[in-house]
Structure 1
Amino acid sequence: MNKKFFSRTIVRIPLIIWSLAVLYPIFWMILGAFKSNAEIYANPWGLPDSFSFSNFVNAWSNYNIDSSVFNSFIVTGLGATLTLAMAIPTSYALERMRFRGNRLLFTLYISAMMIPMVLGWIPLFFLLMQLNLLDNIFGLSIVYAVSQLPFSIFVLTSFMATIPKSLEEAAAIDGMSPYGILWKIITPLSTTGIITVTIMNMIQFWNEYFMALIFLQTEGNYTLALAIDYISNETQYTNAWGTLFASLVIAIVPVIVLYAIFQRRIVKGMTEGAIKG
């Protein structure tokens, strides 16, 4: 018993230290969001004298965080939806249908995961410009969706591979079309994988910065990441540290809430996907 307790303690101590190292800056940022600039300079590590929401109001009203949050919701939601719309039928075709070049096409999709996105930024810039989708949140949503397509296909095919083919054969005998089999049988049975892919993609789209920086140029189209970067640049001249911390809190709250709600499904999906893959 003592040996087990000792071994567990040895393992847990580094994990606790690492957790504190990660959580403390977040806790410090949240406290800073409720402080005035004077408090931040006078007592940066202490508790605020009074919890004020003035920094949040300032960030929301004077630094256009409201429109940036809206743009981020649009880009994230539309990007995740487009990814699923392309990934689900593609995964089904690659996993269930046998045609010439099937394995080669699947390999090309998976190989695309290894290609750095930075190599495609310049061609994408000119492509979006020719399509009149540059500086457009819908154009950015399309880029996001395509960028996560290989990962989504990789995860979804591993789930679809374990669905018994006898279900499809029985449905086909009953006269169900391939589209009906996909949307009424395969898709519901792949719910765990779909939820996992959706949450992972949404977190990726919500936090993405570099592509938004390249493809968005008008301040009214800024996503939340770009708005925070703008506030960060302004802080060195205005000392609006409290506003910057407040905007960061606004950015991380949806991610934390989303992960807290779907934590078990995400872990279950990644575990099952790893086992099934």
Structure 2
Amino acid sequence: MGSIMGIRHPIIRIFFYLILGAWSITVLYPLLWTLLDALKDNKQFYANPPWALPDVPLLWSNFTYVWETYNFGKYFTNSLIVTLGSTVLGLVLSATTAYVLARYPFRGSNVLFLLYISSMMVPFSLALIPLFFLMNKLNLINTSIGLILVYATTLIAFGVFVLVGFFKTLPKELEEAAAIDGASYFGTFFRVMLPLSQPGLVTVAIVNILNIWNEYFVGLVLVNDPDHYTLPIGIAVMQAEMQYRTEWGPLFAGLFISIVPVLIMYIFFQRQIASGITAGAVK
């Protein structure tokens, strides 16, 4: 927005504002549509166009209904535990790996870095069958810990790819000053280097949270116990349980419940996301 305000020609500024306005409408329209349909019953849904405003009174009870009847409270809690646990574990593993590769190069470190990057190009679906047998042998099927371990390890490559660039640009004098003050390798990493890489950490965390929160395929393969369903699986199960009579209001309410946490997170961390991407590009 600041770069647009710096444009002096009024016609060009209006043109950019129109583009941003059109883009905002295309982004907000699906969210508004989902909320409006979540406040309707089936009679309103079939009698009026999908984009029509709901009748008064608004059916806010659809949210309570789907939360209690279809166990969305349990699914929401499971998604929250799995997402936060795998994100924290993935950040710790990727940050420590990236720090070693960036600050303490050794013979074969470049090859190892390329292996991490190349693993991002391999479709994860190819590993699902051996992964299922491995998790079953470790008794981690139908457990939140199993999902956390799988998600965390699959996100290491992206974290290493982003954070290596951040760690390489940090001045070596910081490590030397920390060593003079008596800091150990771990103390230097956690007290000095890790806080300085906060923009990269936030960027990696946001991307990981979005991927994990919306992930469906791996969760469907590794979890068949309703007590451990995450939100994407819960929505699919909910639609299947409706069978021949789809309750559109509660279904859209469930979809909106799954959208709200990600939307709130982006609203609060949009500046960090933008600064992290920009800093990573410059570095």
Coarse TM-score class (shorter-chain normalised)? over 0.9
- Other-structure match for 1:51: 58
Alignment of 1:19-38 (within 5 A): 19-38=24-43
What displacement does 1:7 show? Answer: 4.2
Q: 2: distance between equivalents of 1:199 and 1:53? A: 30
Indicate the percent of aligned positions where both proteins have the same amino acid. Answer: 46
Q: 2: distance between equivalents of 1:10 and 1:174? A: 56
Q: 1: distance between equivalents of 2:163 and 2:143? A: 29
What displacement does 1:57 show? Answer: 1.2
- Other-structure match for 1:39: 44
Verify: 1:147 aligned to 2:147, yes or no.
no
1:177 to 167, 175, 184: 184
Verify: 1:267 aligned to 2:274, yes or no.
yes
| TM-score of the aligned structures, taking structure 2 as reference length | 0.91
Q: Secondary structure at the match of 1:161?
A: helix
What displacement does 1:4 show? Answer: 4.0
User: Residues 196 and 270 of structure 1 are in contact (CA less than 8 Å); yes or no, is this contact kept in structure 2?
Assistant: yes
User: Residues 239 and 246 of structure 2 are in contact (CA less than 8 Å); yes or no, is this contact kept in structure 1?
Assistant: no
Q: 2: distance between equivalents of 1:264 and 1:14? A: 21
User: Residues 87 and 209 of structure 2 are in contact (CA less than 8 Å); yes or no, is this contact kept in structure 1?
Assistant: yes
Query: Which letter maps to 1:100?
Result: R
Q: 2: distance between equivalents of 1:174 and 1:9? A: 56
Alignment of 1:214-225 (within 5 A): 214-225=221-232
Query: Which letter maps to 1:20?
Result: I
Q: Secondary structure at the match of 1:98?
A: coil
User: Residues 35 and 50 of structure 1 are in contact (CA less than 8 Å); yes or no, is this contact kept in structure 2?
Assistant: no
Q: Deviations over 1:5-59 (max 9, x none)?
A: 4445555555544443343232111011111121111123221222222111111
Structure 2 unpaired stretches of 5+: 1-7
Q: 1: distance between equivalents of 2:71 and 2:153? A: 28
CA RMSD of aligned residues (A): 1.8
- Other-structure match for 1:98: 105
Query: Which letter maps to 1:170?
Result: A
- Other-structure match for 1:63: 70
User: Residues 235 and 241 of structure 1 are in contact (CA less than 8 Å); yes or no, is this contact kept in structure 2?
Assistant: no
User: Residues 72 and 223 of structure 1 are in contact (CA less than 8 Å); yes or no, is this contact kept in structure 2?
Assistant: yes
2:257 to 250, 255, 260: 250
What displacement does 1:141 show? Answer: 0.9
Q: 2: distance between equivalents of 1:6 and 1:191? A: 39
Q: 1:12 to 1:123 in 2, by over 3 A?
A: farther
Q: 2: distance between equivalents of 1:235 and 1:15? A: 40
Q: 2: distance between equivalents of 1:5 and 1:229? A: 49
User: Residues 94 and 106 of structure 1 are in contact (CA less than 8 Å); yes or no, is this contact kept in structure 2?
Assistant: yes
| TM-score of the aligned structures, taking structure 1 as reference length | 0.93
Q: Deviations over 1:107-153 (max 9, x none)?
A: 11111111111111111111101111112111011110011100011
Alignment of 1:90-169 (within 5 A): 90-169=97-176
Q: 2: distance between equivalents of 1:101 and 1:255? A: 39
Structure 1 unpaired stretches of 5+: none
Give the paired residue count: 275
